[in-house]
Structure 1
């Protein structure tokens, strides 16, 4: 079965709201008494005040961990020192930084979101340790870096569509390089620590469920954030995909894709593409990731006694799929 375009149904507002705005987690979570420490270190401000190579060398020497993990080199790297000197002294990059600084201000919004997210993580996982958070400015040389103990945010990467300069990516990828996507992106990457998988299961279904669990984790940690920000889909794509999921599901079933193990075939449905033309000209890329999230969401609806922790530590994608009873239905 192949569709030249998506079919659209005028469904009730509740269905559209489900697709555009975050759904409540299955569990009621009170984080009011949980304490977290979110201290954002403004390396962007500190680095843009450096003027000489000696100052740059001293800064890098005093922040070895940052240099090792983010730049993946050593503080003595001559090329890095020269690049930072150029960024700090060139009139064009200095003007670009002023644009960045004006857009982001004091980062209160990002800090508040991170506090919400970290409180929720600590609610579910009391041993969670808040990672060091650093903002920097690289003149679009590098992107967001997230590890268990360090998060580095190159702010200029997330200036959004009105920025004078933007990351060198196709237009269909640029949407996610905007301020509202920063914290959801961080949480999706952090979810990897808790997202158990079966390394022997190489099926597309396993990949779909993995992504679905990561998005479900992110939504649980950021309950007030729109689903479209969690998965980095335009609102219009969320609405179209939600209303056409029966057709998407039929395509996956008709073409026996769930247990496909060929990496090239799998990439068509879970990888970044402007469209999945095999399904339809309006079908957005990463449709398999979105469908995996629907399966996981249905799994939690059908099995309300399963906690988020239980979900994340379950490596059996087929078990999650079968117990979800998902068949492309609209209702949640």
Structure 2
């Protein structure tokens, strides 16, 4: 299975911190992974790539790294067009400046490696058969997106420099938040969760989509226990506060408009797709509110059913059962406030 970041995301106040803490579960914080061994292998291809001097060296480099080329660029290693493009990229002065900024931002990658170690240990705790994917970092001049599959993760580092980058990915401002260093591991983990996130292919309802996203975010929070919710769902803290405090109003909109079992893709996308705001609810309602609401349903489901493990949750493809047993109706628990 292979995923790109855009394909998945299409996939403060004291109250906010209290909500974060209360939504955590035993799977997220009370597991001991100290005895679990993982191998985090990061191969840095950006350095040798950006030092290539001519097209012949580029051709040799691509031949040597065929799996990387075919996965990341989705083209054969002997693609003359790719060779020409990389030759221009490597020798462009402005691109070289962006590359130097990338190196300064990420350094030796020790912190990124530690974050992956934590995540992989927790995944292996829940799924002992988990095989750590190989990790490759590269530099693509903002031409390519993050790629994740079961055996390989490819990270174009320049995309994640953050707001101080000389150049940034060409996405709307409301989407650029996730293109920063702290979002790399949460994004990768959320994409990896798809392997374990069982679904009912016959259920085309908005509820099924919401619960799918909710399970993905719950998985991420469980295997990176100290990550803030804002990094998991790529919401600003202010949007999390608005969503929490306004969930009764949001839920009423879903019920009044009979959205829970809606199957029209165009309508569903208004609530789970990428938008700056869900104007149907209000100008202050952040985009992807259906994803956030699905997370609330899943979180409530685990609160109401404390014996349900993360593995149990992820293999449950019955979105309606999860919803009904969550007892979620737009409320916040008194014990969560």
CA distance in 1 between partners of 2:88 and 2:21 (Å): 43
Q: CA deviation at 1:25?
A: 2.8
Q: Counterpart of 1:24?
A: 24
CA contact 1:188–1:214 (8 Å) conserved in 2: yes
Alignment of 1:314-325 (within 5 A): 314-325=316-327
Q: Counterpart of 2:93?
A: 91
For structure 1, the 5+ residue unaligned runs are 1-10
Q: CA deviation at 1:38?
A: 0.6
Secondary structure of the residue aligned to 1:269 is: helix
CA distance in 2 between partners of 1:322 and 1:23 (Å): 18
CA distance in 1 between partners of 2:22 and 2:81 (Å): 44
CA contact 1:21–1:228 (8 Å) conserved in 2: no
Q: Counterpart of 1:122?
A: 124
Q: TM-score, normalised by structure 1?
A: 0.94
- Would the alpha carbon gap of residues 94 and 21 (structure 1) be closer, same or farther in structure 2, given more than 3 Å must change? farther
- Would the alpha carbon gap of residues 22 and 37 (structure 1) be closer, same or farther in structure 2, given more than 3 Å must change? farther
2:312 equivalent to 1:310 = yes
Q: Counterpart of 2:297?
A: 295
CA contact 1:194–1:313 (8 Å) conserved in 2: yes
Q: Counterpart of 1:7?
A: none
CA distance in 1 between partners of 2:95 and 2:272 (Å): 36
Alignment of 1:200-239 (within 5 A): 200-239=202-241
CA distance in 1 between partners of 2:240 and 2:47 (Å): 37
2:330 equivalent to 1:328 = yes
- Would the alpha carbon gap of residues 191 and 171 (structure 1) be closer, same or farther in structure 2, given more than 3 Å must change? same
CA distance in 2 between partners of 1:175 and 1:104 (Å): 18
Q: Counterpart of 1:45?
A: 47
CA distance in 1 between partners of 2:246 and 2:111 (Å): 34
Alignment of 1:148-227 (within 5 A): 148-227=150-229
CA distance in 2 between partners of 1:36 and 1:25 (Å): 24
User: What is the CA RMSD across the aligned residues, in angstroms?
Assistant: 1.4
CA distance in 2 between partners of 1:163 and 1:12 (Å): 29
Q: Could you tell which deviates more after superposition, 78-87 or 293-302?
A: 78-87
Secondary structure of the residue aligned to 1:133 is: strand
Q: 1:192-232 CA deviation, whole Å, 9 max, x = no partner?
A: 00000000000000000000000000000100000010000
* Structure 1 segments of 4+ aligned residues over 6 angstroms from their partners: none
CA contact 1:273–1:286 (8 Å) conserved in 2: yes
CA contact 2:23–2:299 (8 Å) conserved in 1: no
Q: TM-score, normalised by structure 2?
A: 0.93
Q: CA deviation at 1:26?
A: 2.6
- Would the alpha carbon gap of residues 105 and 22 (structure 1) be closer, same or farther in structure 2, given more than 3 Å must change? farther
